[in-house]
Amino acid sequence: MDSIIKIGFWEKAFKSLRLALAKVGLAEDEWGYSGFHEDLTKGDTKELVKQIQNCLEMRGGEVSARARATNLGHIYLTLSSLGRKTFLKILATEFRIDSDVIQEKLDGLTKVNDNVSREMWESSLREALIPPRVKLLRQFNELPDGVKFLVDMRGDLLDWSRDDVELGFLEQDLKSLLFSWFDIGFLELEQITWSAPASLLEKLIDYEAVHEIKGWSDIKSRLAPDRRCFAFFHPKMPDEPLIFVWVALVNGMATNIQQLLSGSSSRESSDEVYDTAIFYSISNAQKGLTGINFGNFLIKRVVDKLTHEFSGLKNFSTLSPMPGFLDWLRGRDKDMLELLDSTQIETIKTLGSDEDIGKKFVSYLTNENLFVESKVYEKLRPILTRLSCHYILNAKRPSGTALDSVAHFHLNNGARVEQINWGADISEKGIRQSAGLMVNYRYVLEEIESNHEIYQSGMDINVSSKVKNILGN
């Protein structure tokens, strides 16, 4: 179904080009052969190389080249996964920089003495340093819906480039182009309401990555008068959100996601005076833009917009998951006890024998029935809360930044760790990932820049006294 949709948007490029081609008398059969097998056979690959070369050489002029680029894009969308990988492999290996041409330009540059000639050779060298594959990607960008096409193409590349160095170079080329095209200055912040087109609301349902949206009544609840949804859009992708955030307007710090998502019928008006905005879900909507960070700009822009709309808002915080907590804990069964106090260790020992007690405890946490046994669950509260604090504050990547991806995102944006919330997400996903715990990362406006700098330097993480007390600091 997804491929059908993608092919559908490419048809708009065909339609406009057919008109242009008719004006210059170029027949559609001159665009290039399109009868490729979906997996790209050996014979197909030779023809594909020929078509790419014709496109790059601008044979027949600009209109013809654009037609050929359109045809190549359409071919790519009709291919199977294997065919697309082969297409990209050809682009990566057959259309790289020509080292002989580079050497020729360098030799020429070393022989000139006057400034004018040097400038000409330098310009020629810069042009030669652009791989032909990049020039083709730029041609795709100029087509209707070409930007979305390239974003999706990089989404494909991200899967394949991990195990293929040559595809990795192509992925980096495309990332560099997208990075410049998706500069924050080009993006538009829009509030999404219940009156938005159904097609856009459906995309929010599909792209939601944190808390599943279960249907139309669910999304209507999330767009109630005391709720907000904001998204970044690109002018070349007006119908596609790049990243979006869900906000709950409340009084006091929200500590439970079930309450925020409950869809209470009492929420009828936005006239109430709220003092807190809770960012409870942020989702990147385009896989192909992975690594191009919009989130920090999104939060800052949303905070600015909300403070203008609600003068009483004083607190800005998240209610965030800890997606890697239990996985981290399972890997620490041998030294986990070192992170606990004597009382907590004795509590764990009641669950099994002294031998391999850490391993026994971690295994115990995988018991699906554990979290419906309320007495046992509550008994574990101080233990898991303390361990989660260690995870957020002390579990690090080789770079020195927080191991938890969500923690890293907010700490890097200048937030502080405000509090750990017990039983905050008792959904199947919340239990599986973090034993039901969630974190409030608070954005104190006057501290954001200093928090960011301190975190980036590897010196410290700003933590509230409430969290420090959990660790006994």
Which residues are marked as active site? 320, 410
Residues 6+ positions from 50 with CB-CB distance below 8 Å: none
Q: What angle do CA 188, 189, 192 make, to 5 degrees?
A: 125
Nearest to 212, CA basis, from 181, 256, 257, 274: 257
* Surface-to-core class of residue 9, CB atoms within 10 Å of its CB (0-12 exposed, 13-18 middle, 19+ buried): middle
Confirm if 443 and 415 have CB atoms less than 8 A apart. yes
Nearest to 78, CA basis, from 145, 157, 11: 11
What's the alpha-carbon Rg for the chain, to the nearest Å?
27
Task: In whole angstroms, give the CA distance from residue 281 to residue 210.
Answer: 6
Residues 6+ positions from 408 with CB-CB distance below 8 Å: 397, 401, 402
Query: CA dist 472 to 239, 335, 384, 391, 435, Å?
Result: 50, 19, 15, 15, 22
Nearest to 270, CA basis, from 249, 301, 246, 245: 249
- Residues 81, 84, 90, 93: is their CA dihedral positive or negative? negative
Task: In whole angstroms, give the CA distance from residue 30 to residue 27.
Answer: 6
What is the layout of strands, in order, in the sheet containing 227-233? 188-191, 227-233, 243-250, 276-284, 315-318, 438-442, 416-421
